[in-house]
Structure 1
Amino acid sequence: MRLILPLPDNEAFARRLADEGDWELGALETRRFPDGETYIRILSEVKDKAVDLVCTLVRPDDGFLRLIFVADAARALGAREVNLIAPYLSYMRQDRLFQRGEAVTSRSFARLVSSSFDRLVTVDPHLHRYPALSALYTIPTDTLHAAPLLADWIADEVEKPLIVGPDEESEQWVSAIAARIGAPHAVLRKVRHGDRNVDIELPDLSEWRGRQLVLADDIASSGNTLVDAAGKLYLQGFARPVVAVVHGIFAEDSFQRLAPLCDRIVSADSVQHESNTVTLAPLIAAAIGSTDAGDSDLVRHRRPPEPLDEVEQAGFDSFPASDPPPWTGGVN
């Protein structure tokens, strides 16, 4: 049996995922004590079930401890396996030392996740210097790709598209979208001067006049690359482009700056945003559902479950569902 258990602010995505696979949707209670610490209580039965925690990891610093607490609680309550469904996976950018003394946070984060989960499922992680997630994570990982979904949306919604990548790194990605729908593609050149300071150099696109430009990328984080590209394309006499991205983070005011320059902005629902148009639930459901018939082959977590001791279990069994277990300290 499989239980889909959403972390706070992930309920809508989890519901779509549960509906897609006809799985049980779980519930969680969480709040903060006056001292700022987090209270966690799983309200659903998890014993002997595959528990999939649904938590997109955009802005992870605010809720990562809560995620780990829920994973440990599910394991202690007898979950058969505890998996992480992270439509967006954070801490992938710092993949090497750029200056002496820096933390390579991608490796630190991978170690923390690998120590708490049996499996990781994510969509289009920002792999740059790593060939695959297996170079970082010590648990089985599923790297899913949303390019076909964006390509199908473009084919249905955009006439005579020209798929445009914002930089050289996007060549393989945009070429796959273009090939799927039989459209041409081009790639711009990005010169980065810092986290928020980039310049875009445009190639000669005059032969594609009359086509609708579609700026496609895996992630819109600061949004500055897309803003710069959209503005320069307009100055070259092209109509306002469509923007299609997988992960629409749109930090700070980038969406407000980009929107006037574009005909339309669409994103997948890996990160909750008003631009969400393409749902990833069917893609993820197919991936996690494919293991249901072959669970015995899953590589199990190296740490054994930590069941409740006799005192804790007795306290848990004696309290009705509406009361907190005694070891939580009530409602301090």
Structure 2
Amino acid sequence: MNINRGPLLVFSGQSNRPLAEEICQHLGISLGKSETIKFTNDNLIVQYEESLREGDVFIVQSFSTPVSDAIMELLLMIDAAKSASAGRVTAVIPYYSYARSDKKDAPRISIAGRLVADLLQSAGADRVLTMTLHSPQVHGFFKVPVDHLSSDLVIANHLRTTVPDAEEGVVLAPDSGSIKRASSIARRLNCGLAFIDKQRLTDTQVESRALIGDVKGKKVYIIDDEISTAGSLVEAVNFAKRMGAEEVYVAVTHGVYTGPAIERIAALDAVQVASSNTVLVPQSKIDGSGGKLHVLSVAELFANAISNIHTGESVSTLFE
């Protein structure tokens, strides 16, 4: 099915402009022109510098540091686009950080993942395009269509092309919540699967209790959705090595790398740590990792999804 819409227009907030530019290169169009100004009182103002009338507008913005500024800028960009008579506005959020706040697991707290979804819809977003939500149920917080991309294909291709005899290794899920993602990549690599059974000791302390599967003498690929401070990653890598893993490779979708993450990765007993460019990783962090950090591009996947949405084609075909 091919739908006649207004012109395809892609704009970017300030959180991850390099990804937006790369997406536009794959689409064969120029990144739209807009300006965001922060006043001395921390207020933001957004202005588009070209016509959006009846356009099919896609706004790329990751929820990365400073997260509150990124969210506010995206809300203003959506609102300004609707006010400028855009035909449709799609919020492209490669990294939706508030997906971690998906349930009320403590008294008197907000389910922020749902609240931010409400704000995006109130601002005027007609559609959302995102990647690897921490919890799939966050998809249900939206009352507008959501296209939920996966980085599994990109990660599997990376491991297949960089690790010799990759099919002889084992994909290791660091907890039971990561099994589905790890299983998908194991099928793509045609290799083994294992997972770590964890026991929660306190609200902040988790202990690796048992390994389900066999990693002894094998290459192990630890797969997860994101790395923040890398505390859980260090535990998973060390546990895999204690269980006899020969080499450990790490691949995640979102490389947030906050706090002591880079120092921990540099000291990690792993061959490499790869993440996609859903979050902008500065060169200084790559250099500080001792050569272990690798950044994989998901720009082509986002470009193909945007193209399919624009023309009314299925996005799910991108994963077949």
Q: TM-score range by the shorter chain?
A: 0.7 to 0.9
Deviation of residue 196 (structure 1)? 5.0
Superposed, 1:15-54 pairs within 5 Å as 15-54=21-60
Verify the 8 A CA contact 1:2 1:24 in the aligned structure 2. Answer: no
Measured in 2, the distance between the counterparts of 1:230 and 1:221 equals 15
AA aligned opposite 1:18:
C
1:260 to 245, 248, 267: 267
Deviation of residue 115 (structure 1)? 1.9
- Say whether residues 1:198 and 2:206 are aligned partners: yes
Deviation of residue 276 (structure 1)? 4.7
Superposed, 1:216-231 pairs within 5 Å as 216-231=223-238
Verify the 8 A CA contact 1:196 1:224 in the aligned structure 2. Answer: no
Verify the 8 A CA contact 1:55 1:85 in the aligned structure 2. Answer: yes
AA aligned opposite 1:64:
I
> Which residue of the partner structure matches residue 300 of structure 1?
none
2:155 to 150, 158, 167: 150
> Which residue of the partner structure matches residue 278 of structure 1?
296
AA aligned opposite 1:3:
L
> Which residue of the partner structure matches residue 127 of structure 1?
135
> Which residue of the partner structure matches residue 243 of structure 1?
250
| Count of residue pairs the alignment pairs up | 292
Measured in 1, the distance between the counterparts of 2:253 and 2:183 equals 15
Cα gap change, 1:213 to 1:46, in 2 (>3 Å): same
Measured in 1, the distance between the counterparts of 2:71 and 2:79 equals 13
Measured in 2, the distance between the counterparts of 1:294 and 1:123 equals 19
- Say whether residues 1:293 and 2:311 are aligned partners: yes
AA aligned opposite 1:278:
L
Percent identity over the alignment is 25
Measured in 1, the distance between the counterparts of 2:212 and 2:95 equals 34
> Which residue of the partner structure matches residue 115 of structure 1?
122
Listed one character per residue, the Cα deviations across residues 159-181 of structure 1 (whole Å, up to 9, x for unaligned) are: 33211110011111111101111
Instruction: Please state whether the residue corresponding to 2:95 is helix, strand or coil.
Output: coil
RMSD: 2.1
Bigger Rg, structure 1 or 2: 1
Verify the 8 A CA contact 2:64 2:70 in the aligned structure 1. Answer: no
> Which residue of the partner structure matches residue 99 of structure 1?
106
Deviation of residue 36 (structure 1)? 2.0
Instruction: Please state whether the residue corresponding to 2:35 is helix, strand or coil.
Output: strand
Measured in 1, the distance between the counterparts of 2:203 and 2:261 equals 13
Verify the 8 A CA contact 2:11 2:59 in the aligned structure 1. Answer: yes
Question: Taking structure 1 as the reference length, what is the TM-score of the superposition?
Answer: 0.82
Measured in 2, the distance between the counterparts of 1:152 and 1:164 equals 17
- Say whether residues 1:212 and 2:212 are aligned partners: no
> Which residue of the partner structure matches residue 233 of structure 1?
240
Deviation of residue 44 (structure 1)? 2.8
Deviation of residue 253 (structure 1)? 0.9
Cα gap change, 1:193 to 1:6, in 2 (>3 Å): farther
Q: Which runs of 5+ in 2 are unaligned?
A: 1-6, 287-292, 315-320
Measured in 2, the distance between the counterparts of 1:204 and 1:90 equals 29
Listed one character per residue, the Cα deviations across residues 180-235 of structure 1 (whole Å, up to 9, x for unaligned) are: 11110110122345675332234276x54332111111111232111111123233
Listed one character per residue, the Cα deviations across residues 45-100 of structure 1 (whole Å, up to 9, x for unaligned) are: 32221111100112421322121111111121221111111111121222222233
Verify the 8 A CA contact 1:197 1:224 in the aligned structure 2. Answer: no
Measured in 1, the distance between the counterparts of 2:50 and 2:217 equals 56
2:181 to 162, 173, 178: 173
Verify the 8 A CA contact 1:165 1:215 in the aligned structure 2. Answer: yes
- Runs of 4+ in structure 1 off by over 6 angstroms are none
